Amino acid sequence: MELRSRTVTHGRNMAGARALLRAAGVDSADIGKPIVAVANSFTEFVPGHTHLQPVGRIVSDAIQAAGGVPREFNTIAVDDGIAMGHGGMLYSLPSRELIADSVEYMVNAHCADALVCISNCDKITPGMLMAALRLNIPTVFVSGGPMEGGTAVLVDGTVRTRLNLISAIADAVSSEVSDPDLARIEESACPTCGSCSGMFTANSMNCLTEALGLALPGNGSVLATHTARRALYEDAGATVMDLCRRYYDEDDASVLPRAIATREAFDNAMAMDIAMGGSTNTILHLLAAAREAELDYTLEDIEKRSRAVPCLCKVAPNGHYLMEDVHRAGGIPAILGELWR
């Protein structure tokens, strides 16, 4: 299979394109190598994305070490928690479409051969998933990971553990929580970078990309602050290059997103979502992704699956456990194993 990037890297008529690639840092020795688009979503607005700037470099270095030419770009990222409760929420769901379109535009405009999606929060992973299935080129997802749970010492000395975003929201409307205690909870509920620590939309979607087969094991549950995250970033870069070789050198189309995220894979992902007590927003996003994959997957299919699969996990907001507990218990492979049994 011929590299897509040959469109801009070969032929006298593409001398101008090659000149621009050289100006962007592509060496003569790199011309003809697979060009891998690295879609990052770093922003200082969103705690789930504040740490992603160096992640792009880690992924890019791994791609380069494996023989590819990484080209990083950025998408927007809206924080639903900050946008919630005012007119800002009007921009959240539409941002998913902007993200999907921006990834598609950058990849196709520059004829990239493969894609690594560095996502994390609510609409970013779904938007990138839609783009990946639309483009159908070798793709690997790697998220920024969940944040740690918080701990607060209240005015009377009471210790509140396993705090998360919802803790702050719920306590803010409770007349039983004093202003001084609320201030301590607010300051402690989101203590680190990463997506909110419960099984909310961000973590649900990152787990589901893992279940779909488009992300490496651990993508959904390894904490943002855990040293194992770096290995995931490096493996994402190495893996996308392996997929490139299999597709372009060996004509193996089984590595493409639509060959991996089949109707059966979507059914498995939905079963996973139900079992782990995931966000109901995943229904909206999985249906949109299935449409991009040109699959006939509907609400009726989800309804049928929901009648057959039990909810196995008690992860916030469905209980008091957090994503760090899910990871310690074995992560997504452990939940899938329970379903298998």
What integer pLDDT is reported at residue 341 of this predicted model? 79
Average pLDDT of 278-286? 96
pLDDT per position as a tens digit, 128-142: 999 999 999 999 999
Q: Which of 88-92, 118-122, 222-226, 313-317 has the lowest mean pLDDT?
A: 313-317
Instruction: Give the Cα separation of 19 and 191 in Å (integer).
Output: 46
Model confidence at 168: pLDDT above 90: no
Residue 13 lies in a domain: no
Residue 6 lies in a domain: no
Residue 20 lies in a domain: no
Instruction: Give the Cα separation of 254 and 162 in Å (integer).
Output: 42
- Residue 87, judged by CB atoms within 10 A of its CB (0-12, 13-18, 19+), counts as exposed
Token pair for 149: 């749970």
Average pLDDT of 193-204? 97
Instruction: Give the Cα separation of 163 and 172 in Å (integer).
Output: 13
Domains in the chain, number: 2
Average pLDDT of 261-265? 97
Model confidence at 145: pLDDT above 90: yes
Same-domain status, 176 and 243 = no
Average pLDDT of 149-176? 93
Average pLDDT of 107-124? 99
Instruction: Give the Cα separation of 17 and 34 in Å (integer).
Output: 16
Residue 252 lies in a domain: yes
Model confidence at 167: pLDDT above 90: no
Same-domain status, 138 and 156 = no
The domain in which residue 213 lies consists of: 33-149+192-340
Same-domain status, 173 and 198 = no
- Residue 101, judged by CB atoms within 10 A of its CB (0-12, 13-18, 19+), counts as middle
Q: Where among 191, 217, 244 does a domain terminate?
A: 191
Same-domain status, 204 and 262 = yes
Residue 17 lies in a domain: no
Same-domain status, 213 and 302 = yes
Q: How far lies 300's CA from each of 13, 287, 297, 307, 310, in Å?
A: 51, 11, 8, 11, 17
Contact 71, 110 (CB under 8 A): yes
What integer pLDDT is reported at residue 166 of this predicted model? 85
Instruction: Give the Cα separation of 116 and 62 in Å (integer).
Output: 11
The confidence band for 305, taking pLDDT boundaries of 50, 70 and 90, is: very high
Contact 169, 202 (CB under 8 A): no
Dihedral angle sign, alpha carbons of residues 41, 47, 48, 52: positive
pLDDT per position as a tens digit, 77-89: 999 999 999 999 9
Same-domain status, 69 and 184 = no
Q: Where among 165, 191, 217 does a domain terminate?
A: 191
Same-domain status, 296 and 222 = yes
Residue 2 lies in a domain: no
Residues with Cβ < 8 Å from 310, sequence gap 6 or more?
A: 274, 275
Average pLDDT of 282-303? 97
Residue 157 lies in a domain: yes
Same-domain status, 59 and 83 = yes
Q: Where among 191, 219, 253 does a domain terminate?
A: 191
Closest CA to 132 of 123, 141, 121: 141
Same-domain status, 207 and 299 = yes
Same-domain status, 216 and 306 = yes
Closest CA to 39 of 145, 146, 129: 129
The confidence band for 156, taking pLDDT boundaries of 50, 70 and 90, is: very high
Please report, for the domain that includes residue 228, its CATH number: 3.40.50.2300
Average pLDDT of 84-100? 98
pTM of the model: 0.96
By DSSP bridging, strand 69-74 and strand 139-143 are unpaired
Instruction: Give the Cα separation of 180 and 162 in Å (integer).
Output: 19
Average pLDDT of 87-105? 99
Length of the chain: 341
Same-domain status, 183 and 213 = no
Same-domain status, 55 and 68 = yes
Residue 15 lies in a domain: no
